[in-house]
Chain A
Amino acid sequence: MLNEILQILDRDARTTPEQIATMTGASTTEVTNAINQAEKDRVILKYKTIINWDKIGNERVAALIEVKVTPQRDVGFDAIAERIYRFPQAHTVYLLSGTYDLLVMIVGKTMHEVADFVSQKLAPIEGVQSTVTHFLLKKYKEDGEILNGKEEVKRQPMVL
């Protein structure tokens, strides 16, 4: 049941426990308890919105930074990853397979701010071998949502 509840919330975090109860056939109390437990267990971390900031003229600069690091004895990549993700500017930090190790997404107000962060904070971290910074030019789709224009309904309104 938890799985189903999570799927529903993942699609729309504002679905109420009553609505989820109707959709799943469980009782409202059962749903509420399951959600509370999931929050406690940090299965649900937080409830977020997907915002198209460009639309309100709130320009933000984002960059994806490939980071090559030297893994450290015993802690592997985790210690360096932690040093990076502690910076609030680091929006997302992933360990990847392939030609580089960490993918860090930085969000800032200006290109300068992002560049400064990379050169002054990220690159000098001990164990960081190299960085490649890619500035993000345009977002087409985020978290399954198409940002500009959505696929409109093309159905006939009445069909037997």
Chain B
Amino acid sequence: MTTRSKNNSLISQRAIQISPSGIRKFFDIIASMDGVISLGVGEPDFVTPWHIREAAIYSMEKGYTMYTSNSGTPELREALSRQLSDAYGLQYDPFGELLITAGVSEALDLAMRAILDTGDEVIIPDPCYVSYRACVILAGGTPVMVPTTEQDGFEISAEDIESRITPRTKAILIGYPANPTGAVLPKEKLSKIAAVARRHNLLVISDEIYSRLVYGVNHTCFASLPGMKENTILLGGFSKAYAMTGWRVGYAAANREIIAAMTKIHQYTMLCASIMGQAAALEALKSGEKHVREMVADYDRRRKVMVKGLNSIGLPCFEPKGAFYAFPSIKSTGMNSEEFTEKLLIEEKVAAVPGSAFGQCGEGYIRCCYATSLPDIEEALSRMKRFVSKYSK
């Protein structure tokens, strides 16, 4: 046999190092069941608004089926630049400071690969979206987790970040409104983080994919904080706001040097985002606003029903101000989050995601997505009520 790598493993140490998704086994259980109500999704229940689908169909009819420029179609970049200017007063040059990617997922990966050298540290809140740690590790970096707690509304604090800075710290990676907690960071807190970043000359990667989904509060774009545009890699997308998860379009906005580096990697690994997706995204930017407003109003109603319901059945839940997740505590049942969700699925046919899938600090909580119909939310709540009263100590 020919010699393999030093540990004789088919798989790289890097790949081994990233943990497998915490929900695989649930798929098999769900597949064997009927009548499951799922609060376990991470995407809208709306189908992409018809005018957006129609625009993509029309572009295909006209024969737009090719590669686009590596950076994305000029029309989409220009529209995006206008939108960022209108929304936040930020001026990004569509030719050099914006890159269209295959979702925020790709943008995140590119950002990490563009800025990290082996052993560079990236500070990340815990719990957080599952890709953050993995992307850092795959790029050779070291994730440094900062615990956040329900008492603090799962808001990461500037002090906690600062206390973890070492000579190897390269960046801070945050994503608010947050998956899985629904937390939104108020402007003052973001400003403090910005101050820490400036003081220590750190980059901030800000995943703002849920920026449009906020309820009763305003979203602050990290790059719009004084002096932060140059040091922020802003990641945004279409998946959540426009119900376009399957189209795979997102973007990164940053200074020229970083966008050039990210574009170089993107050019060799993805080439470009799909042209159909880009046509759809352009239509979304041009005339999707009305639908966004309607969907947000709808999510807000469901959010209130979900949060009030969870609190009333004995699963205390802090009020999430963004995204479409509630993150109630299940500690009263004495179960850990994986046990809880597995039993809940088998006994009551309600699927939720164990908080532990999002980091150690997610233990003791479950993620319930309320992007599902009101009757389903109510049915799920009544099943969960029965479940909780059976197991509550």
Contact = CB atoms under 8 A, between A and B. Distances in A.
Given A22-B304, A22-B305, A157 B42 contact: no
Contact of A160 (B21, B30, B351): B21
B305 A158 contact: no
Contacts of B30: 157-158
A160 B305 contact: no
Contacts of B357: 160
B209 to A, nearest CB: 13
Contacts of B305: 19, 22-23
Contacts of B285: none
Q: What DSSP secondary structure best describes chain B's contact surface? A: mixed
A92 interface: no
Contacts of A25: 304
| Interface size of B as a range | 20 to 34
Interface stretch (A44-52, A69-77, A148-156): A148-156
A23 B301 contact: yes
Given A24-B301, A151-B47, A158 B23 contact: yes
Interface residues of A, number: 18
A158 B45 contact: no
A104 B41 CA distance: 46
A56 interface: no
A128 interface: no
A153 B23 CA distance: 20
Contacts of B130: 160
Interface string A117-131: 000000000000000
A159 interface: yes
Nearest to A160: B130
Given A22-B308, A155-B41, A155-B43, A160 B23 contact: yes
B196 interface: no
Interface of A: 4, 7-8, 12, 19, 22-25, 151, 153-160
Interface of B: 21-23, 26-27, 30, 36, 38, 40-43, 45, 47, 129-130, 297, 300-302, 304-305, 308, 351, 353, 357, 374
In order of increasing CB-CB distance, the 9 nearest A-B pairs are: A23-B301, A158-B40, A159-B42, A157-B38, A157-B30, A160-B130, A159-B41, A22-B308, A158-B23
